[in-house]
Amino acid sequence: MSLLLAAYLLVCAYMYAQQGQLLYRPEQHSVPDLLAAMSDLPVGSGVDTEHHAIVTEPPPSASRGTVIFYHGNSGHAWKYLPYYRHFHALGYRLVLAEYPGFGWRDGQPTEAHMVREALALYEHWRERTPSPQPVILLGKSLGTGVATQVAAQARVPPSKLVLLTPFRSITEVAANKYWMLPVSWLLKDTFASDQYLPRYAGPVSILLAGRDEVVGTSTGQQLLELARQRGPTTLLLRDEDDHNSWMPLLTTQEWQQLLH
Protein backbone atom coordinates (compact mmCIF):
# COMPACT_ATOMS: atom_id res chain seq x y z
CA MET A 1 0.00 0.00 0.00
CA SER A 2 2.81 2.42 0.87
CA LEU A 3 4.44 1.77 -2.51
CA LEU A 4 1.16 2.50 -4.30
CA LEU A 5 0.71 5.70 -2.31
CA ALA A 6 4.27 6.77 -3.06
CA ALA A 7 3.74 6.10 -6.77
CA TYR A 8 0.49 8.07 -6.74
CA LEU A 9 2.15 11.02 -5.02
CA LEU A 10 4.97 10.92 -7.57
CA VAL A 11 2.42 11.09 -10.38
CA CYS A 12 0.73 14.06 -8.69
CA ALA A 13 4.09 15.79 -8.27
CA TYR A 14 4.96 15.18 -11.92
CA MET A 15 1.61 16.56 -13.12
CA TYR A 16 2.01 19.62 -10.90
CA ALA A 17 5.49 20.31 -12.25
CA GLN A 18 4.55 19.68 -15.90
CA GLN A 19 1.14 21.34 -16.01
CA GLY A 20 2.44 24.29 -18.00
CA GLN A 21 3.65 21.97 -20.77
CA LEU A 22 0.36 20.07 -20.69
CA LEU A 23 -1.86 23.17 -20.83
CA TYR A 24 0.12 25.41 -23.20
CA ARG A 25 1.41 24.10 -26.53
CA PRO A 26 2.98 27.09 -28.28
CA GLU A 27 4.59 27.19 -31.70
CA GLN A 28 6.99 29.97 -32.62
CA HIS A 29 8.02 31.99 -35.66
CA SER A 30 9.92 35.19 -36.44
CA VAL A 31 8.51 38.67 -36.97
CA PRO A 32 10.11 38.95 -40.46
CA ASP A 33 8.41 35.72 -41.58
CA LEU A 34 5.08 37.00 -40.31
CA LEU A 35 5.50 40.39 -42.01
CA ALA A 36 6.33 38.65 -45.29
CA ALA A 37 3.09 36.68 -45.01
CA MET A 38 1.21 39.93 -44.44
CA SER A 39 2.67 41.79 -47.41
CA ASP A 40 -0.56 41.57 -49.44
CA LEU A 41 -2.85 42.73 -46.62
CA PRO A 42 -4.61 46.11 -46.71
CA VAL A 43 -2.69 49.29 -45.91
CA GLY A 44 -2.23 49.80 -42.17
CA SER A 45 -2.03 46.11 -41.32
CA GLY A 46 1.01 44.91 -39.41
CA VAL A 47 2.47 43.58 -36.17
CA ASP A 48 2.01 45.61 -32.99
CA THR A 49 5.02 44.40 -31.00
CA GLU A 50 4.35 46.87 -28.17
CA HIS A 51 0.88 45.47 -27.46
CA HIS A 52 1.60 41.94 -28.72
CA ALA A 53 -0.87 41.55 -31.57
CA ILE A 54 -1.30 41.11 -35.30
CA VAL A 55 -3.55 43.86 -36.69
CA THR A 56 -5.42 43.79 -40.00
CA GLU A 57 -7.17 46.94 -41.14
CA PRO A 58 -10.25 47.08 -43.39
CA PRO A 59 -10.54 49.97 -45.88
CA PRO A 60 -11.15 53.18 -43.87
CA SER A 61 -14.38 53.84 -45.74
CA ALA A 62 -15.75 50.45 -44.63
CA SER A 63 -14.55 50.46 -41.01
CA ARG A 64 -17.29 49.81 -38.46
CA GLY A 65 -15.46 48.58 -35.35
CA THR A 66 -12.78 46.37 -33.79
CA VAL A 67 -12.72 42.66 -33.00
CA ILE A 68 -10.02 41.43 -30.60
CA PHE A 69 -9.36 37.69 -30.94
CA TYR A 70 -7.77 35.51 -28.23
CA HIS A 71 -6.75 32.13 -29.61
CA GLY A 72 -6.55 28.69 -28.03
CA ASN A 73 -3.81 26.89 -26.11
CA SER A 74 -1.78 25.68 -29.10
CA GLY A 75 -0.09 27.09 -32.20
CA HIS A 76 0.05 30.87 -32.49
CA ALA A 77 -2.06 33.83 -33.62
CA TRP A 78 -0.65 33.75 -37.17
CA LYS A 79 -2.62 30.64 -38.08
CA TYR A 80 -5.86 32.62 -37.67
CA LEU A 81 -4.74 35.36 -40.05
CA PRO A 82 -6.62 33.95 -43.10
CA TYR A 83 -9.93 34.57 -41.34
CA TYR A 84 -9.44 38.33 -41.62
CA ARG A 85 -11.41 38.23 -44.89
CA HIS A 86 -14.65 37.48 -43.04
CA PHE A 87 -14.11 40.34 -40.60
CA HIS A 88 -13.08 42.82 -43.29
CA ALA A 89 -16.14 41.87 -45.33
CA LEU A 90 -18.18 42.90 -42.29
CA GLY A 91 -16.15 46.10 -41.80
CA TYR A 92 -14.13 45.09 -38.74
CA ARG A 93 -10.51 45.61 -37.83
CA LEU A 94 -9.18 42.24 -36.62
CA VAL A 95 -6.67 42.27 -33.75
CA LEU A 96 -5.11 38.85 -33.13
CA ALA A 97 -3.64 38.81 -29.62
CA GLU A 98 -0.46 36.82 -29.06
CA TYR A 99 0.49 35.21 -25.75
CA PRO A 100 3.88 35.08 -24.01
CA GLY A 101 5.96 32.22 -25.43
CA PHE A 102 3.81 31.94 -28.56
CA GLY A 103 4.57 33.16 -32.08
CA TRP A 104 7.41 35.69 -32.08
CA ARG A 105 7.32 36.21 -28.32
CA ASP A 106 9.65 35.10 -25.53
CA GLY A 107 8.47 34.25 -22.04
CA GLN A 108 6.26 31.72 -20.32
CA PRO A 109 2.46 31.80 -20.57
CA THR A 110 0.51 31.99 -17.34
CA GLU A 111 -3.11 32.93 -16.71
CA ALA A 112 -2.23 36.06 -14.75
CA HIS A 113 0.26 37.28 -17.38
CA MET A 114 -2.08 36.55 -20.29
CA VAL A 115 -5.08 38.29 -18.73
CA ARG A 116 -3.03 41.31 -17.68
CA GLU A 117 -1.76 41.78 -21.22
CA ALA A 118 -5.18 41.07 -22.70
CA LEU A 119 -6.69 43.86 -20.59
CA ALA A 120 -3.99 46.29 -21.74
CA LEU A 121 -4.57 45.32 -25.37
CA TYR A 122 -8.31 45.84 -25.00
CA GLU A 123 -7.88 49.26 -23.39
CA HIS A 124 -5.48 50.31 -26.15
CA TRP A 125 -7.90 49.44 -28.95
CA ARG A 126 -10.94 50.71 -27.09
CA GLU A 127 -9.28 54.11 -26.97
CA ARG A 128 -8.31 53.94 -30.66
CA THR A 129 -11.73 52.82 -31.91
CA PRO A 130 -13.93 55.85 -32.67
CA SER A 131 -17.16 56.08 -30.71
CA PRO A 132 -19.81 54.77 -31.23
CA GLN A 133 -18.10 51.92 -33.11
CA PRO A 134 -18.15 48.64 -31.14
CA VAL A 135 -15.18 46.83 -29.66
CA ILE A 136 -15.95 43.11 -29.56
CA LEU A 137 -14.00 40.45 -27.63
CA LEU A 138 -13.79 37.06 -29.28
CA GLY A 139 -12.18 34.01 -27.67
CA LYS A 140 -11.65 30.48 -28.92
CA SER A 141 -11.24 27.52 -26.54
CA LEU A 142 -8.64 28.63 -23.95
CA GLY A 143 -9.04 32.15 -25.30
CA THR A 144 -12.64 32.17 -24.05
CA GLY A 145 -11.23 32.09 -20.52
CA VAL A 146 -9.07 35.10 -21.34
CA ALA A 147 -11.81 37.06 -23.11
CA THR A 148 -14.33 36.45 -20.31
CA GLN A 149 -11.98 37.82 -17.67
CA VAL A 150 -11.26 40.91 -19.78
CA ALA A 151 -14.98 41.54 -20.27
CA ALA A 152 -15.59 41.19 -16.53
CA GLN A 153 -12.69 43.40 -15.40
CA ALA A 154 -12.51 46.13 -18.05
CA ARG A 155 -13.21 49.70 -16.87
CA VAL A 156 -15.52 50.14 -19.86
CA PRO A 157 -17.12 46.82 -20.85
CA PRO A 158 -16.80 45.58 -24.44
CA SER A 159 -19.74 45.94 -26.81
CA LYS A 160 -20.07 42.16 -27.05
CA LEU A 161 -18.41 38.95 -25.87
CA VAL A 162 -18.18 36.05 -28.34
CA LEU A 163 -17.16 32.63 -26.98
CA LEU A 164 -16.20 29.83 -29.40
CA THR A 165 -16.20 26.28 -27.96
CA PRO A 166 -16.00 27.57 -24.35
CA PHE A 167 -15.84 25.78 -21.00
CA ARG A 168 -16.78 26.64 -17.43
CA SER A 169 -13.22 26.20 -16.12
CA ILE A 170 -10.00 24.37 -16.95
CA THR A 171 -10.37 22.67 -13.58
CA GLU A 172 -13.56 20.98 -14.78
CA VAL A 173 -12.04 20.02 -18.14
CA ALA A 174 -8.92 18.58 -16.48
CA ALA A 175 -10.96 16.74 -13.84
CA ASN A 176 -12.91 14.95 -16.58
CA LYS A 177 -9.70 13.92 -18.33
CA TYR A 178 -7.58 13.14 -15.26
CA TRP A 179 -10.37 11.89 -13.04
CA MET A 180 -7.96 9.90 -10.87
CA LEU A 181 -6.02 13.01 -9.76
CA PRO A 182 -6.92 15.84 -7.33
CA VAL A 183 -6.72 18.43 -10.11
CA SER A 184 -8.42 21.17 -8.07
CA TRP A 185 -5.43 21.06 -5.71
CA LEU A 186 -2.82 20.79 -8.45
CA LEU A 187 -3.86 23.42 -11.00
CA LYS A 188 -2.28 26.87 -10.95
CA ASP A 189 -4.16 28.30 -13.94
CA THR A 190 -7.90 27.61 -13.83
CA PHE A 191 -9.49 30.09 -16.30
CA ALA A 192 -12.73 29.95 -14.31
CA SER A 193 -15.15 31.57 -16.78
CA ASP A 194 -18.10 30.50 -14.65
CA GLN A 195 -16.87 32.89 -11.94
CA TYR A 196 -16.27 35.85 -14.27
CA LEU A 197 -19.10 35.64 -16.79
CA PRO A 198 -21.83 36.78 -14.32
CA ARG A 199 -19.87 40.04 -13.86
CA TYR A 200 -20.40 41.00 -17.50
CA ALA A 201 -23.89 42.27 -18.30
CA GLY A 202 -23.49 42.88 -22.03
CA PRO A 203 -24.59 40.68 -24.93
CA VAL A 204 -22.91 37.29 -25.39
CA SER A 205 -22.74 34.95 -28.39
CA ILE A 206 -21.68 31.33 -27.91
CA LEU A 207 -20.69 28.75 -30.51
CA LEU A 208 -20.89 25.11 -29.42
CA ALA A 209 -19.62 22.07 -31.32
CA GLY A 210 -21.88 19.05 -30.94
CA ARG A 211 -18.94 16.61 -31.10
CA ASP A 212 -16.41 18.56 -29.06
CA GLU A 213 -13.80 16.01 -28.07
CA VAL A 214 -11.42 18.42 -26.31
CA VAL A 215 -13.46 20.21 -23.64
CA GLY A 216 -16.57 18.06 -24.02
CA THR A 217 -20.09 19.19 -24.85
CA SER A 218 -21.68 19.53 -21.41
CA THR A 219 -19.37 22.24 -20.03
CA GLY A 220 -20.17 24.61 -22.92
CA GLN A 221 -23.90 23.98 -22.52
CA GLN A 222 -23.67 24.74 -18.81
CA LEU A 223 -21.80 27.98 -19.53
CA LEU A 224 -24.53 28.83 -22.06
CA GLU A 225 -27.19 28.47 -19.36
CA LEU A 226 -25.14 30.62 -17.01
CA ALA A 227 -24.85 33.27 -19.73
CA ARG A 228 -28.60 33.25 -20.29
CA GLN A 229 -29.24 33.75 -16.59
CA ARG A 230 -27.15 36.94 -16.52
CA GLY A 231 -28.22 38.66 -19.73
CA PRO A 232 -28.86 38.58 -23.51
CA THR A 233 -27.30 35.50 -25.09
CA THR A 234 -27.41 33.94 -28.56
CA LEU A 235 -26.30 30.46 -29.62
CA LEU A 236 -24.78 29.10 -32.81
CA LEU A 237 -24.78 25.30 -32.62
CA ARG A 238 -22.58 23.23 -34.95
CA ASP A 239 -24.04 19.80 -34.30
CA GLU A 240 -21.76 17.75 -36.54
CA ASP A 241 -18.45 19.47 -35.78
CA ASP A 242 -15.71 18.74 -33.27
CA HIS A 243 -13.62 21.21 -31.29
CA ASN A 244 -11.73 22.61 -34.27
CA SER A 245 -13.36 21.40 -37.48
CA TRP A 246 -16.07 24.08 -37.59
CA MET A 247 -13.83 27.12 -38.02
CA PRO A 248 -12.81 26.70 -41.70
CA LEU A 249 -16.46 25.98 -42.52
CA LEU A 250 -17.97 29.08 -40.91
CA THR A 251 -19.42 31.51 -43.46
CA THR A 252 -19.25 35.28 -43.34
CA GLN A 253 -22.97 35.27 -42.58
CA GLU A 254 -22.42 33.00 -39.58
CA TRP A 255 -19.63 35.27 -38.33
CA GLN A 256 -22.08 38.14 -38.71
CA GLN A 257 -24.61 36.23 -36.61
CA LEU A 258 -22.04 35.85 -33.84
CA LEU A 259 -20.78 39.44 -33.94
CA HIS A 260 -24.05 41.35 -34.30
Write the pLDDT tens digit of every residue in 123-171.
999 999 998 999 999 999 999 999 999 999 999 999 999 999 999 999 8
**Helix axes of 142-153 and 111-128: crossing angle, nearest 10 degrees:** 60
Quick one: pLDDT band at residue 39, thresholds 50, 70, 90?
Answer: confident
* Cα 69 to Cα 96: distance, rounded to the nearest angstrom: 5
Residue 11: pLDDT above 70?
no
What is the H or E stretch that residue 60 is in?
A: none
Q: Which residues contact 93 (CB under 8 A, 6 or more apart)?
A: 55, 56, 57, 58, 63, 65, 66, 67, 87, 125, 129
What is the H or E stretch that residue 203 is in?
A: none
State the amino acid at position 43 in one-letter form: V
